[in-house]
Chains A and B, each alone.
Chain A
Amino acid sequence: MKEHLTISTATDLLRLGAEDIIFITSDGNYSTFMLAYGNSHVVTMQLGQIEKLIKQQLEYEGAKYIRIGKSLIINSDYIQYINIPKQQLILSDGKMNSYSQTASKEALRQLKDLIDKTIK
């Protein structure tokens, strides 16, 4: 059965298919979910709280999600390109949307190592 991440506040409820989330970025108390097919949702929640929800609600599906530094969580299924010297990480839904994110060289090196391990 398809797993969902549900974010429920006093006034609204957001339910997202775990496999539809490409990445989540944050600025302070606001976090933006970028979804496959190009739509996005903003929630008033810090990235640490979202990380907690992913851990609680998405058991093994949650292993696809990787926290990179303070302001980014990615779904590793959507990683298309990593360039460590340029500090560039491109996530793509394989159709029409691709998103370029920056991260530290060290974080990208670790991410690349992690992905490399899954190939073998």
Chain B
Amino acid sequence: MKGKTDINENEIRVIGKETHDGDKRMSTHTIVTIVLLALTAVVLLAILLMRNRAPMETASDLTDTEEGLFEGTAYDIDDEWYENIDSTQGSFVDIIDTVVDGLSLTIYTPYNTLPELFVGEVDETDPSILLCTQAADLRRDNGKILGAYVYRGEPLAWELSKRGYCAIIDGKTTVGVSDNSPLFEDAIEHKGYFFRQYALVDNGSAVRNNPENKSLRRALCAWRDRICIVVSHDRILMNDFSYALETLRVRDAIYLVGSSYAHGWVEDRDGKRSFFSEHSQHRPKNTNYILFKKK
């Protein structure tokens, strides 16, 4: 039941007393509350009566778990491919190209790497960086990092602007969707990292978002027991990207700064570096990255 102090994103309320006849308004509120409580009681009573009359439908009565011929089935990356990766052979990034829901994607899965965030001009000559891509967005008005951000235990930004989050604490990366994550404080306590971005997939279900433009898309995903980065080859809608990740059976995914200007690169197993985008002449000072470094 919604508490007196609860509020959702579509509501506003004036906090202080608006006029001197506040007591009168209080009594109106009380009447409304009593009416609502009475209605709730009637509805509950009706539900209880209905339950006693109608026999419960059991799980065995339901047949809608069978898949229809033309119903879409979840896409599956070849299990054999996934299981055959030898994750004991040092630090590397496994790269696989695939097509999901008609969209061309590349999945970058780092193994035996150290994840961390970085703010500022990233050293492109650093041989320890195997995978690097921009992480949190910046505010248009003042160039500061958009959404809560913790860098090596130091909070640089606090506001909740997006529901998706990534926390890196003691070398462990967690991707999730929540308005209020205790991992923000844990990141401060443990000298870790935290940032926020659009939620794309929440517990296996695609999340719809507002941006309606087409762009090159990137996502940080919790997929099977791994963290990976998925990149679109083409300019696509954010919501189409989310549904493709859902089809890919990603558990949770958040957006990473995309577009053809977003900086980043990957080093393949032969040591060859490929940049995700054209080089930008100017990058704001708060441009920030998620890095996966060699151990």
Contact = CB atoms under 8 A, between A and B. Distances in A.
A70 B141 CA distance: 22
24 contacts: A26-B159, A27-B148, A28-B181, A30-B158, A32-B158, A48-B5, A54-B15, A55-B16, A58-B16, A62-B16, A63-B17, A65-B15, A66-B12, A66-B14, A69-B12, A70-B160, A71-B179, A73-B15, A98-B141, A100-B141, A104-B10, A106-B10, A107-B10, A107-B12
Interface of A: 25-32, 42, 48, 51-52, 54-55, 58-71, 73, 87, 98-100, 102-104, 106-107, 110-111, 114
B172 to A, nearest CB: 20
B18 interface: yes
Contacts of B158: 25-27, 30-32, 42
A29 B181 CA distance: 9
Interface in B160-188: 160-161, 179-182, 184-185
Interface string B149-165: 00000010011110000
Nearest to B140: A100
Nearest to A53: B15
B67 interface: no
Contacts of B155: 30, 42
Given A69-B9, A98-B141, A27 B160 contact: yes
Nearest to B142: A99
B13 interface: yes
A69 B10 contact: yes
Interface string B105-146: 000000000000000000000000000000000011110000
A46 to B, nearest CB: 8
A54 B16 contact: yes
B7 interface: yes
Contacts of A27: 147-148, 158-160, 180, 184, 196
